Amino acid sequence: MLMAIDAGNTNTVFAVFDDEGKIRGEWRAATMANRTADETGVWLATLLQMEGLDRRDITAAIIASVVPATLFSLRLLCRRYFGVPAQVIGTPDVDIGIEILLDRPEEVGADRLVNAVGAFIEYGGPKIIVDFGTATTFDVIDDKGNYLGGAIAPGVNLSIEALHKASAQLPRVAIGRPERVIGKNTVQAIRAGIFWGYLSMIEGLIARIRHELGTPAEVIATGGLAPLFAECSAILCHSDPDLTLKGLYAVHRRNQAQ
């Protein structure tokens, strides 16, 4: 079985795939650069056992991380607790199978590249991938799956937190879909501005990307808040919360076959 690890700025996701590509277990932890391999290993071993899995059944591991400080402990985790060396997205020995058509390919986040791979494997191309994470990223692939670039905007929760911290009288609110755009109190107004304003930004950027691309490419939404926005906009054609993990599995299989 494969242990796939997606280390984002806010959370790190651990998932176990069986040999047929089915996710047998998936867990999420806060990303902490100072968390040791032993701390993660004990926590993960317990969760594996709760799902009827044994850490000795893990025969391979792959990591995508946008937090470089986590890589050492995650690699050590794979060696010490699973007895396998981890493949790492972005290293020369891991072939992701697509071309990165950018001025500086090395600057692209590992998660964005893995999303591109997962999107092409699952849905073909051309496609636009919107990932609702700490940042909301818009990534574009062509009809061959090659990565063309994209756009980065502040994430929804980051915007809420920034609004609260920068304004003395505005409270912190939870993201949700309000029924009305015109709020009747401060909390309703913030929720309306965040949700409907954010959705309008997403739809506007997608329209501009499609115009620049010259094709009405379908849009795939992923990340924790993807279902919330996808149910309110026909422009978000597919909602796939496991897209990054599927991309990691696809990259592993490609490199395993070589």
How confident is the chain (258 residues) per 10-residue block, as mean pLDDT? 95 94 94 94 94 92 96 96 95 94 92 96 96 93 96 89 81 87 91 92 96 95 90 91 95 86
The closest alpha carbon to 150, from 118, 90, 109, 121, belongs to 109
CATH fold for domain 105-246: Nucleotidyltransferase; domain 5 (3.30.420)
pLDDT digits (tens, 9 = 90+) for 72-96: 999 999 999 999 999 999 999 999 9
CA 73 to chain centroid, in Å, comes to: 20
Q: What residue segments make up the domains of the chain, in order of their start?
A: 2-88, 105-246
Ramachandran assignment for 52, one of left (phi > 0), alpha (psi -120 to 50 degrees), beta (any other): left
Residues at the annotated binding site? 6-13, 109-112, 131, 134, 186
The catalytic residues are 111
The domain over range 2-88 is classified in CATH as 3.30.420.40: yes
Report pLDDT for 257. Answer: 67
Neighbours of 70 (CB within 10 A): 22
Q: How many residues are there in the chain?
A: 258
pLDDT digits (tens, 9 = 90+) for 175-193: 889 989 999 998 899 899 9
Q: Do domains 2-88 and 105-246 have the same CATH topology?
A: yes
Residues at the annotated binding site for K(+)? 131
Span between the terminal Cα atoms of the chain, in Å: 18
Q: pTM, whole model, 2 decimals? A: 0.90
